[in-house]
Structures are given as C-alpha cells and as structure tokens.
A and B are shown apart, each in its own frame.
Chain A
Amino acid sequence: MDTLANIFLGFSLALTPVNIFWCTVGVVLGTAVGVLPGLGTPATIAILLPLTFQMNPTTGIIMMAGIYYGSKYGGSTTSILLNLPGETASVVTCLDGYQMARQGRAGAALGISAIASFVAGTVGVLGLMLVAPPLARFALRFGPPEYFALMTLGLTMVTFLAGKSMVKGLIAALFGLWLAMIGTDRFTADSRFVFGRLELLDGIDFIVASIGIFAVGEVLVNLEEKTKIDLFTVPKGLRNLMPTWQDIKDCRFAFLNGSVVGFFIGIIPGAGASIASFLSYGLEKAVSKHPEKFGNGAIEGVAAPEGANNSETGGALVPLFTLGIPGSNSTAMLLAALTLWGLRPGPLLIQEHPETFWGLVASMYVGNIMLLILNLPLVPMWAQILRIPYYVLYPMILGISFIGVYAVNNSMFDVWLLAIFGLLGYLMKKLDFPAAPLILAIVLGGRAEETFRQSLIMSGGAMSIFWTRPLTVLMLSLALALLAAPFFRSVRQWQKPRASDDE
C-alpha cells in the first residue's frame, strides 16, 4: 500500500510541466551523447552539473538520470551503423548489430534495440521500485572473493565469445590486464610500468583505449578494405527499417533475458552494463537453437545485450539510493550531484526525501516512453548516416575521437595514446585478435586485482578462500568450464577422424 501511495506521489511530481521538460532535455541529450562515440555519460553529467544548482534536487536528478539512461538508448546506434561502440556496454552490440547493418538490416537492428531498451528499461525501473531494498541487502553479502569470481567469469565469457581463436582471445585479455596494471598500485602506492611518465600514474583510461581501438582502428581497416566505395547501402523506406513481427517474436526470450540479467548484474556495484550485456549475449547464444548465427547478424544478439544494458540502469540505482554505493562512473557522478544538492545518499535517503526517490522512479517510466517515441520514428534518421560518403564520415570519426578523448582529462597525452591504440586496433584486426577481451580486461583489471588481493589478505594468504564459498565456487567453476570447452572440442574433433579411420 505504501508503495502505491509513493508511486502516486512520484507521478504527481514527475508529471509537472517543469519536470517533464527537464526529463525531455535529459533523455534527448542522453541519446545524443550515446550516439556520439567518445563523449561519455559521466563527462556530460559533469559538464552539466553546474546548470542544475538552481534546480530543486528532484528536477535535477530527473534530468541527470535522463542523460544516464538516455545514453543507453543512443549507445547502440553507432555500434550498429558504424561498428563504433558509444560506450563499453555497447561493444557486444557491434557483433551482430553491425553484421545486420552490412546485410541491409540496419533499421531492424536499431528498431529492435529501441524496443528491447524500452521493455528492459521499464522492467529495470519496476525492479528498482519493488525489490530494491532486499536485493541490495543480498548484493551486500558479496565479498572480495565473489567479486573476483564474478569478474573472472565475465572476462572468461568475453574471451569465449569473441573471435575465432580462444588463444588469441586469452592473449588479448592478458594484454588488457597488463594495461590495467599501468599506474599506481592501490595497496602500496608503488608505480608500475609508467616508463617515467607522470601522466601514466593514474593509469590508462579505458575510454582512450576503446576509442583508439574501435574508432581509429576501424577507420584504418575500412580505408584499406573499402577504397572508393561507401560503407554500405542504406535501405529505403520506413517499412524496411522497422523490425518485423517475426523479429519481435524471435526476440521474446531476449527481452526477458536482457531485463532480468541486466537488472541483477546492475545491482552489483562494479559489475556494470558491460558484464550485463556480455552475460545476456552469452546466455542468449547458449539457449539459442541456431548459435551459429550469432556474430553473423542474429537479431537476438542485438536485443539481449541492449535490453540488459538498459535494465542495468534500474539495478545500478539500487545500491546508489539504498546504500550510497555507486557502481560505475555515471552513478558516481549522480552520487556527487545528490551530495552537491545537500542530500545524503544511503539507507535513509528514501525515508527522508521520498519526493526525490519516487519522483525519479516515476520520471523513469515517463522517460522510457519518451525514448521509445524518440527512437523508433527516428530510426530512418539515424540510418541516414550511412548515406554519408566515407570520405566525409571518416575525418568526422577521427575528429570526434580526438575531442572525446581530449575531453576526458583535457590531456594531449591521452590523444597520443589514442593514436597508439588506433594502430594497435588496426594490427589486431589484421591479425584476427578480438578487441572485446582487451577492453573488458582494461575496465575490470584493476578491480579484479584489487579483489583478488583483498581476498588473500582476508584469508591470510590461503587460496582456499576461493573454493570454500559457494557463490565463488559456482562462478569460478563456470569460468573454468568455459576455458576448458575449446580444449575438449578439439579433442573430440581429433578423435572423430581417428574413429572413422579405424572403421
């Protein structure tokens, strides 16, 4: 009954003209930010934060959260059309979304992405509203060993999923782990692998690496492979650009999968949308009747990760509002905003400021509907990007990459790193090394090392801590099974010809 009264309170606030206006501004800006590779959500929230000081906190958080979840809708656009993930969570969307675009189904991919985002985004808000407190309590039980196991599972899954060669995937992941170690050690303050450069003491920002590898590297490969032609033909007509009923029917499980996986992963601080999207993609592939289609333009391969990416926002707000723990850069910025408005994020926030929490929850329902309306009819507009000649497009991609990287820290050193990562991305593509394990390893590497070391400190150096906790055992066993799978497959393939020879 309380929940019902609270949600009425929330809607009475969210549906005021002022809040509807700022919610619209937030979701439109968020979509634009998501579409533009490199201009990240945390940077945008940071840039716009001073503008919200004059607003009341409810209006301010409605707009800021609009940017946050709006960017998730937009993030898929460049992944599908240009193979440039707007953010790391959209990396997995490239796998099938870009292939669909190459096959002339860019519109269907964008459409299903918007629908999945709406369905899962709404489920995520529902979850935030109804089950936030008990689930947050459950996530609180996670200690360093569980976090380490979760990150190991996420990394292994990516390595298992991306690319043709598991060995190359593992090498890419290990290289990414090394990149994540560059900088100051968080436990002892020793500097590692900084080559005498002060700029490296803070480590390498994953945005720099991902824009370099995906954007610059992709431009270089495209320049080599497609000398005088445009990227691909744009399908004409709105009907061709919309997903069919069959597409939507095919994606029923993907909507559910994305919603549930995204929400639950979102609750775990640090896990984030990247793991959510990769896990839901892996699950979708595992239960699919045609797993061979994944990576070659399977529509479920777009719907599941995009749904998870959006549902994750609802989950990620649970620990932020109930425990005051941000799980990502974006939620960290939201935490900073709440603090600047004089609120104390934590268990008492919902009790002390129900108008802020319930106003936000209600505005997220409104915002998701706005985003669906904004994104579905605008599918043809986004697809028009494909009409642009490549000689116009690639300097723009390089320019936006420069600006996106420079804007992170106002650092020219980062821009030099961008060029280096661009060359690395090009070489990786030429040599068939998958990029996704490397990027995820950069994102998770620091935290993985931290939790591993914390675990060993907890156990006094005993490795048994990893096989005496049920959740850890479960996740590490899954990771081990994934690592062993290609080996057993090879043995079976090797045995088959021998058996036929014997016959």
Chain B
Amino acid sequence: MNKGDLFCGLSLLAFAVYLIQQSRSLEYYYEHGPGPGFFPFWTALALLFFSVVLVGVTLIRREKIAARAPQARDSLRALGTWVGLVVMIGLVETVGFFVSFAVYTLLLVVVLDRQRWASATAVAVGSAVGFYLVFVYAFGLRLPAGPWGF
C-alpha cells in the first residue's frame, strides 16, 4: 500500500468536505441563474468523489512502493532550501531583495553544496549584481529595497 497516496487521499477528502461546507454558505442559485456557490459545490463534490476513489484504489491495490524513495537527508536538503526561501522572503521587506537574496544564495551554496566560501560569495554577489543590472537598470523594474536604497 502506498502510504503517501493514502495520506494524500484522506487529506483531500477532508479538504473536499471543508469546501462543501464552505460552498454551502454561498448562494447556490439566485434569480438569474447559478449563484456563487453552484460551481464550488459541484467541484468540491467531484473532488470528494475522486479522493474516495484514490483512497479506495490505494487500499485495494496494496502495491509495494518502488525503491525510489529518497533518503531523509535528501528530503531535508529540499525542505531546508524551501525554509530558507521562506526566511529570505521574510527578510526582503527589512533588508531589501538584493541583500536578502545574496545572503540566502551564499548560505545555500556553502551549507547545501559544500562549496568554498570564495565560490559561494562569487555566485551570491555575481547573481545579485546581475539581477540588478538586468531587471532594475535595463528593464526598470522596482524591487523591494533596504535602508541603503537597494
């Protein structure tokens, strides 16, 4: 049995029930035709149906998962990068995009890829400067700036 599919199917099932409940609070039909709750209700109902099918098929098949599952350490690399991205986004409004992005890149390259500090600094500063030249200087885009003006 694929535990991932089972967990996913059950989560979607719960989500579909929540959507049905939410859509029922919207008007289903009004004087001119289907209301704002019509489409969400039927979409949620279909989602509920297919979630049940997914759970059912997963339970019936009971197939073994292919030995593709990555090690926990590899998953941590991916999730660590994502958490780092979230922290970077959180810092953007305080220190600006370029500083926040450069620090994030530096740490990613040093911690996750075990590159030397010199290479990591070159990648971090090079990409931040490159982005500035292309997007701010050439395209005239305005990106979130820090107290130092960039």
Contacts and interface: CB of A to CB of B under 8 A. Distances in A.
A395 B46 contact: no
B11 to A, nearest CB: 10
B74 A225 contact: yes
Contact of A188 (B19, B30, B131): B30
Given A224-B77, A395-B105, A47 B139 contact: yes
Given A187-B32, A188-B36, A416 B89 contact: yes
B78 to A, nearest CB: 4
Contacts, number: 148
A175 interface: yes
A437 to B, nearest CB: 12
A192 B54 contact: no
Sorting the interface of chain B by its residue count into under 10, 10 to 19, 20 to 34 or 35 or more gives 35 or more
Interface stretch (A236-244, A331-339, A406-414): A406-414
A188 B81 contact: no
B8 A431 contact: yes
Contacts of B82: 216, 220, 419, 422-423, 426
A457 interface: yes
Interface string B74-89: 1101110110011001
Interface string B17-28: 001001000110
Interface residues of A: mostly helix, strand, loop or mixed? Answer: helix
Contacts of A406: 97, 143-144
A396 interface: yes
Interface of B: 4-5, 8, 12, 19, 22, 26-27, 30, 32-36, 38-40, 43-44, 46-47, 50-51, 53-54, 57, 70, 74-75, 77-79, 81-82, 85-86, 89, 92-93, 97, 101, 104-105, 108-109, 112-113, 115, 123-124, 127-128, 131, 135, 139-144
Interface of A: 39, 44, 47, 167-168, 170-171, 174-175, 177-178, 181, 185, 187-188, 190, 192-193, 216, 219-221, 223-225, 227-228, 390-392, 394-396, 398-400, 402-403, 406-407, 410, 412, 415-416, 419, 422-423, 426, 430-431, 433, 449, 452-453, 456-457, 461
23 contacts: A171-B47, A171-B50, A178-B40, A181-B43, A187-B36, A193-B22, A216-B85, A220-B82, A221-B78, A223-B112, A224-B75, A225-B74, A227-B74, A391-B115, A395-B105, A395-B109, A399-B131, A407-B141, A416-B89, A419-B85, A423-B82, A449-B39, A453-B38
